[in-house]
A and B are shown apart, each in its own frame.
Chain A
């Protein structure tokens, strides 16, 4: 019996290399575990039928000593990241039977590294939501408390990792969709710098915001996955060469050098003025800052005067990009087709029947903010404020290495609790959207629990750093978690 609970990618690789167990045995352990817990959690939309044969291939490579970084490592993939010849539905009726004709770049790179894909995970439809309740195929439950949401939109991915239904997972993060569910489920989630991981083969939501990122049990595992999927890609013109390397020497701090790192953490001023932060979250936030101080980090108050507008900017730019990206679903080229009276009616029927409430709402909101009479007041204004927000971070990172916030203003809420109040649901992203607006990387680290009735609800803290500085996020994250 393999001890999945304490397994990491690094440990699994050692065991596979030493022959303590085979990739097939490892994959089978996960499949067995899935069989036990999945009927309660519902993290997967599909367990792939070829898991064992993928693992057999991995074992052949290990036997020939041709193993890559991730050979035989069982991963779960969010259902908006294409794997060739597998269904990829974005948890939408619109794409319920869509079979990916090619690999996304992130998946291609994981395949090249030898990973085994267990299945595709549930999510909010087209990644629109913070709770995974917007899936067209039913909600996923939080493994720490089955009456609560796992967060979203990558809730299925976070739930697989938290329940040992996968060793690690990929999610996508447009406004917090990797970090917030990681926080709700008590695991690690990274949103890389915009343009670091190729979006080719990621079903697009907000193209100036979207990034694929890892959800893992440890920071070291997040680093391994990140290094496997990052890098320039001819198929995504927004990708840049690894940025960390050239910025590295300009900075006086580095990720090397043990506890003598002495990184400086910025605490945003005016933080306490934000309404609706759970008292347990605030307490945990302050304790986390003290913990960083106790392991040699300095802190400083930083002023980010425009960051408070991030969520408002996000709810203009994101729907604008959604309305444009989702225009492609017309029932003609692929996906659902519902026949109407004539060609135009086909569009109305297909899009009306295929998209859920949230997708339709965001498409219409996007059409509104982009329409000629309102374009300047909304879309242009949002882009101007976005530049101010970017400037705030650029200035702040001249003085500090990190900015710290809670990942979310509350722990996981009960299923159904916020479905009738969309704005309240959107406010769950108040701390995570700024990193997408500014393009900077951010990591969510498990930082403790809130006791609620007889359950311990996970809490998370978020560290942001300058563009291309995932290296110091990993360093600080490992220091914080004692890895």
Chain B
């Protein structure tokens, strides 16, 4: 069973503000989804029964360890998007 304090914990882990009214709705909805997905507990899916993990030719791809583009090429365009900036830096509140 999912309790209100579980939802509050999840919201905190997710860095999300939720109102107390929303907490009730989230509790109800998340509980109903979790009880639906609980059907998987009945499935015998031990790894030796499933085929060896095969991702249809999908594998990690690493690019060459070299400069991909000129330094600063995209700085202006990307900084343009930042809500707060100063002297070419993204600005955040003091942490320490």
Residues of A participating in the B interface, judged by any CB pair closer than 8 Å:
98-99, 101, 194-195, 234, 237-238, 240, 243, 306, 309, 311-313, 315-316, 323, 330-337, 342-344, 346-349, 351-353, 355, 357, 360-361, 363-365, 367-368, 371, 377-378, 381-382, 384-385, 387-388, 390-391, 394, 422-423, 426, 439, 467
Cβ A333 vs Cβ B14 within 8 A: no
Identity of the chain A residue whose Cβ is nearest the Cβ of B29 in the assembled complex: A422
Partner of B18, one of A337, A352, A371, A378: A352
A-B pairs with lowest CB-CB distance, top 9:
A352-B17, A337-B83, A237-B61, A334-B81, A384-B45, A387-B50, A364-B10, A347-B15, A343-B93
B40 within 8 A of A: yes
- With known contacts A332-B83, A343-B93, A381–B18 Cβ distance under 8 A: no
Chain A, interface SS category: helix
Chain A proximity of B65: nearest CB distance (Å): 15
In the complex, residue of chain A having the shortest beta-carbon distance to the beta carbon of B77: A101
Q: Shortest distance in angstroms between A371's beta carbon and chain B's nearest beta carbon?
A: 8
Q: Decide: B30 and A368 in contact? CB cutoff 8 A.
A: yes
**In the complex, chain B residues whose CB is within 8 Å of the CB of A323:** 14
- In the assembled complex, the CB of B59 is this many whole angstroms from the nearest CB of chain A, namely 8
Contact B39 A312 (CB under 8 A): yes
- Measured in the bound complex, the distance between the Cα atoms of B43 and A316 in whole Å is 15
Contact A360 B18 (CB under 8 A): yes
**Do residues A342 and B47 form an inter-chain contact, with CB atoms below 8 A?**
no
**Beta-carbon contact of A381 and B60 below 8 Å:** no
Chain A residues near B40 (CB-CB < 8 A): 309, 312-313, 316, 378, 381-382, 385
Closest A residue to B30 by beta carbon equals A365
CB distance from A245 to the nearest CB of B (A): 13
Q: Output the nearest chain A residue to B12 by Cβ-Cβ distance.
A: A348
Say whether B41 contacts A377, CB under 8 Å. Answer: yes
Bound state CA distance, A361 and B11, in angstroms? 9
Contact with A365, one of B33, B74, B84, B90 (Cβ below 8 angstroms): B33
Among A357, A368, A385, the most chain B Cβ lie within 10 Å of the Cβ of A368
Q: Is B88 an interface residue (CB 8 A)?
A: no
- A309, B43: Cβ atoms under 8 Å? yes
Is A348's CB under 8 angstroms from B17's CB? yes
Extra 16 A-B pairs, beta carbons < 8 Å, given A351-B16, A360-B11: A315-B33, A323-B14, A332-B82, A337-B84, A343-B93, A346-B93, A347-B15, A360-B14, A360-B18, A365-B30, A365-B34, A382-B37, A384-B45, A387-B45, A388-B43, A422-B33
